Structure 1
Amino acid sequence: MDEALLRSLTPGVITVLVRRGADFAAAEDAVQEALVEALRAWTEETPRDPRGWLVTVAWRKFLDASRADAARRRREDRVEEEPPQGPAPGSDDTLQLYFLCAHPSLTPSSAVALTLRAVGGLTTRQIARAYLVPEATMAQRISRAKRTVADVRFDRPGDVATVLRVLYLVFNEGYSGDVDLSAEAIRLTRQLAAAVDHPEAAGLLALMLLHHARRAARRASDGSLVPLAEQDRDRWDTSLIAEGVVILQAALSRDRLGEYQAQAAIAALHADAPRAQETDWPQIVEWYDELARLTDSPVVRLNRAVAVGEADGPRAGLKALSALDDTLPRHTAAAAYLHERDGDLATAARLYAEAADRAADRAERDHLTRQAARLNTARRP
């Protein structure tokens, strides 16, 4: 049984049912039942037209459910006038499903969960494990999301920017449990980039590939975080870097710069440096200037301040940092790093300890605690 094939077919089958009159929740339920039947029926041989098989079975499941629900009899009468004949259409309907799952009426967390379920083909249990929440909690979240978009129809162009934001959120969740959300986000973004002529879709794909290329070097054997400057660059995936750079260059050549392309350009400059000391920090600062212009994000300005500290010296970085709100996430950690580079170990140790207390992520908290301990040890006579 090719589970990857089933997952890849799921979005298109759901969309066919929605186009034929099923609301999203009913279509998704019917397709899930069809997938269960496929797992039983395809044990020895896959049908010649697996997508058509799933559409036929899912449509039958939907009609059976409609007949059992008197409130849906009117819809059943309408949709049965044109029963499915022959294989399912060959067009890729996945893009429509992206837009539905990233509908602006959904919260970001609901949009991510629904995208992973309907477009990614993941089970509720897999999504719950990835987000470290009880399965019942995730089931409720997905059910609420399905009800929210139940009456939405594909009568208007979707917002690519919203879809990209959802995929960006999926990627940033990274890996936990038995589902690699970063890899899943890359798979889904590849589909989107192939389906739409949008440089930011390509920019996001490039950004994901360039970041994912460093994954093997991000943690030590004991699971602790390894900062970018200390990573073993021989462990970076050069094939992913090369692919990301090619995709980025093609996107940039269209002269329609967006935030994902700018972020990818920064990641590419890090990837291009054989050693941390050879990083082109002045050019990275220039890209952060572009990114700040595009987003006006305080977090971007904080990262720019650190880059300024690398390009022009730690005191220049601290000056840039002082203009920002000190309650920003990682502001204290950035200040600690820049004070350490400036030789003020006492202040740096104190700030590392404060940053550790504020860190939400356990791995980050442990890393910052170790940094404070290291400097305190270095200061002892």
Structure 2
Amino acid sequence: MAEPDYVYIPEAELEGFVTRIFTASGCTPHEAARISNHLVGANLSGHDSHGVVRVPRYVEWQKAGYVLAGQTVDTITDGGSFVLLDGKFGFGQTVAQQATELGIERALQNGACIVGLRNAGHIGRTGDYAEMATAQGLISIHFVNVAGSVLVAPFGGTERRFSTAPFCVGVPLPQGPVILDFATSFVAEGKVLVASNGGKALPENALITAEGQMSGDPHTLYGDYAPVGPRNAAGGTGAIRAFGDHKGSGLALMCELLAGALTGGGCSGPITERARIANGMLSIYLSPQHFGDEAAFHQAAQGYISWVKSCRAADPEAPILAPGDPEKQRRAKRRITGLPLSRDAWQGILDTAASLGINGPQGI
């Protein structure tokens, strides 16, 4: 596969452009700015799979009525230290933020809170919500699924049974938070989307065909598609593989049970008559200050992380990193170079903007 051909766009310019797109699509300026900030933040962190490559798909979903602007979560159950919320198919960046803010508020008051969220639009990069919690001194744990979206084959299988089922943990520390955030699939579906738009190629064993052959070809998941335009996972006959063999497959199952079955939003399957997909998220917020000796926790945790990172590296040019370190490095670099987007992905965003009467940035 040819090397990606990138266009580099400054952070502020891209964020302003995407904000204009979502304002034109029917969001309030505040909500449009929130969606844009989240998507551009994902690109800034190096998680291009959850960044602005999603813009055409979000606008398409909004036009179809699958995701709704201006939603406020409904409270289904409120037990003080546990809350179940319904996102009413609002933009995930809106309703998941509301759910996270509530969890943070309750955990700061009581020391802990469990928040279930169902029927949310695509919430984007889960690490964003962990970062919100760690900024307030809280630990957070997030189990996520996608109801109605079957993309991933379980260990040993060739048929789709799981969503990409992300898992995330955030731990606040004085020298900066530790954020573990990953899809339980070998790659996020967004990375297949990026690769299909001329971006970074997939590993050759990221996907599996219906016949059980390893594949790195996005057509395995999407079927036939044009160089620029929408991608439909229903068009392909293959699946994404679970990461880590039986371990990732088992964690994916737990994400489906906790974020899907327990919240009432539904698991990825079996497929029934469902017009739209939706994220579910079960989040646990813990206050180290309430739990015990916060200073002692910080000292022990920071000391241990430093010791782990002091391990002699197999490659002297690749030192040991803690979860969240690569994102910090990418943010620093991309704030200087601009955010890289493949030209096909960028053209797809420009086409979406044009369909809403929005002109792209000049000189790019």
- TM-score, with normalisation over the residues of structure 1? 0.22
Q: Which has the larger radius of gyration?
A: 1
Structure that is richer in strand per residue: 2
Structure that is richer in helix per residue: 1
- TM-score, with normalisation over the residues of structure 2? 0.23
